[in-house]
């Protein structure tokens, strides 16, 4: 008999799928690493499991403990799967910017969800950064995951996502394009790929309203760059330790509207029903087309599934309310 011992054994080994229409303008082979094939429907399953296992191994997480994390949903889902299989409690702290579906899904897999306001400074006691830290200090036998600064996040992608992309492209990958939030995905994959071939170019996709691009280009953390935006999962108002700026060749910013439009095109033109940041990443590939040539192999990583955005990006009324084109 062939079976998995539990759901965690189904994490990883996601497919690489050629984009045939949505990147028509791009004169290169564009391949999407489609991470919604993971059991929690996102790439974050990989790092969630790695963070839990590393914490178990060095005693930060003890039997019967409570896992506490500030998460927009995808990391929470990965943590929930690990918590269920391994017998921990999970508290997820998130912001009111996130889609309601994400909270419902987390509650469905047994997590307690606490929602904090988005439009406060990171060091404000009401912010989700401060709240998750405070809760982890108040609850006995709890462990605060801190995906932003936890090195196991990057390590998971160095050990699994990077090697998979290298093997699936037969080492022919020339460019890797991916949205950046905590930085774990880009930094782990970049480290592995650049060790194999330092000529591989790594592009980070950022949002308007986030600090990454300017910080990478000038070294300046410019508070004036920060304002509320719609795209979920990428861009930050902090510099997480997991973003290794030395491994990133450049950042490209994508607007909220373009991210939404390309998310919908991925579904309609490729049958890839993916999340909001995936549209941003694919739109980023199109914006960067002058950097690619015919023999290039461009891999774009798609973080999560469209099912978490049915009330938003995939809803015409929501698109119109935000002034976005629905064609």
Q: Among 4, 18, 33, 44, which one carries the catalytic annotation?
A: 44
Assign residue 110 a region: left if phi > 0, alpha if psi is -120 to 50, beta otherwise?
left
For residues 202 and 216, give the distance between their C-alpha atoms in angstroms, rounded to a whole number: 13
Q: Provide, rounded to whole angstroms, the least separation between the CB of residue 140 and ligand PLP.
A: 28
Q: Which residues in the 242-301 window bind ligand PLP by CB under 6 A?
A: 275, 277
Instruction: Check residue 65 for interaction with ligand PLP (CB under 6 A).
Output: no
Q: Which residues in the 204-233 window bind ligand PLP by CB under 6 A?
A: 232-233
Closest CA to 304 of 141, 71, 1: 71
Segment interacting with ligand PLP (CB under 6 A) among 87-95, 182-190, 244-252, 257-265? 182-190
Determine which residue in the list 31, 32, 234, 261 makes contact with ligand PLP, applying CB under 6 A.
Answer: 234
Instruction: Check residue 46 for interaction with ligand PLP (CB under 6 A).
Output: no
Closest CA to 92 of 44, 159, 50: 44
DSSP 41: S
Q: Provide, rounded to whole angstroms, the least separation between the CB of residue 186 and ligand PLP.
A: 6
Instruction: Check residue 72 for interaction with ligand PLP (CB under 6 A).
Output: yes
Segment interacting with ligand PLP (CB under 6 A) among 5-13, 20-28, 175-183, 283-291? 175-183
For residues 298 and 177, give the distance between their C-alpha atoms in angstroms, rounded to a whole number: 7
For residues 40 and 74, give the distance between their C-alpha atoms in angstroms, rounded to a whole number: 8
Is 312 designated active site?
no
Q: Provide, rounded to whole angstroms, the least separation between the CB of residue 278 and ligand PLP.
A: 7
Segment interacting with ligand PLP (CB under 6 A) among 48-56, 181-189, 190-198, 312-320? 181-189
Q: Provide, rounded to whole angstroms, the least separation between the CB of residue 66 and ligand PLP.
A: 21
By beta-carbon proximity to ligand PLP, the closer residue of 41 and 169 is 41
By beta-carbon proximity to ligand PLP, the closer residue of 99 and 287 is 99
Determine which residue in the list 26, 83, 180, 190 makes contact with ligand PLP, applying CB under 6 A.
Answer: 180
Encoded tokens for 209: 């309203």
Whether residue 164 contacts residue 193, with contact meaning beta carbons closer than 8 Å, is answered with no
By beta-carbon proximity to ligand PLP, the closer residue of 142 and 182 is 182
Instruction: Check residue 191 for interaction with ligand PLP (CB under 6 A).
Output: no
Instruction: Check residue 304 for interaction with ligand PLP (CB under 6 A).
Output: yes
Q: Provide, rounded to whole angstroms, the least separation between the CB of residue 179 and ligand PLP.
A: 4
Which residues, in sequence order, are bridge partners of residue 42? Answer: 304
Determine which residue in the list 303, 309, 314, 318 makes contact with ligand PLP, applying CB under 6 A.
Answer: 303
Instruction: Check residue 74 for interaction with ligand PLP (CB under 6 A).
Output: yes
* Crossing angle of the two packed helices 44-57 and 74-86, in degrees rounded to 10: 50
Angle ∠(295,281,273) on CA atoms, nearest 5:
105
For residues 182 and 242, give the distance between their C-alpha atoms in angstroms, rounded to a whole number: 6
Segment interacting with ligand PLP (CB under 6 A) among 57-65, 67-75, 99-107, 113-121? 67-75
Sign of the four-CA dihedral 158, 164, 165, 166: positive
By beta-carbon proximity to ligand PLP, the closer residue of 69 and 225 is 69
Q: Which residue reads 């309203």 in tokens?
A: 209
Instruction: Check residue 184 for interaction with ligand PLP (CB under 6 A).
Output: yes
DSSP 170: T
If you write DSSP's letter for every residue of 72-140 in order, what string do you get?
A: SSHHHHHHHHHHHHHT-EEEEEEETTS-HHHHHHHHHTT-EEEEE-SSS-TTSTTSHHHHHHHHHHHST
Q: What are phi and psi of 125, to 5 degrees?
A: -60, -20
As annotated, the active-site residues are 44
Residues of this chain that bind ligand PLP (CB under 6 A): 44, 72, 74-75, 179-186, 232-234, 275, 277, 303-304
């Amino acid at each position: 008999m062939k079976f998995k011992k539990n759901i965690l054994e189904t994490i990883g080994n996601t497919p690489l799928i050629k984009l045939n229409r949505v990147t028509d303008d791009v004169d290169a082979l564009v391949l999407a690493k489609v991470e919604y094939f993971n059991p929690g429907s996102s790439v974050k399953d990989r790092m969630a499991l790695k963070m839990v296992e590393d914490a178990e191994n060095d005693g930060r997480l003890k039997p019967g403990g409570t896992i506490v994390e500030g998460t927009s949903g995808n990391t929470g889902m990965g943590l929930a799967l690990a918590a269920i299989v391994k017998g921990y409690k999970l508290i997820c702290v998130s912001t009111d910017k996130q889609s309601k579906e994400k909270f419902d899904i987390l509650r469905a897999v047994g997590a307690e969800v606490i929602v904090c306001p988005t439009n406060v400074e990171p060091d404000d006691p009401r912010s989700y950064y401060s709240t998750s830290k405070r809760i982890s200090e108040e609850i006995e036998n709890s462990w605060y995951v801190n995906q932003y600064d936890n090195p196991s996040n990057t390590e998971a992608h160095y050990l699994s996502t990077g090697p998979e992309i290298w093997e699936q492209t037969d080492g022919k990958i020339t460019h890797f394009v991916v949205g950046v939030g905590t930085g774990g995905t880009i930094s782990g994959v970049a480290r592995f790929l650049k060790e194999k071939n330092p000529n591989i170019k790594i592009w980070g996709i950022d949002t308007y309203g986030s600090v990454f691009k300017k910080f990478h280009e000038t070294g300046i953390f410019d508070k004036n760059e920060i304002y509320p935006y719609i795209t979920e999962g990428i861009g930050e108002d902090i510099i997480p330790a997991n973003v290794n700026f030395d491994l990133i060749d450049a950042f490209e910013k994508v607007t909220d509207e373009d991210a939404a439009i390309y998310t919908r095109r991925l579904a309609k033109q490729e049958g890839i029903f993916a999340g909001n940041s995936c549209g941003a990443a694919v739109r980023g590939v199109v914006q960067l087309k002058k950097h690619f040539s015919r023999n290039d192999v461009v891999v774009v990583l798609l973080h999560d599934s469209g099912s978490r955005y049915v009330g938003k990006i995939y809803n015409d009324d929501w698109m119109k309310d935000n002034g976005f084109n629905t064609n």
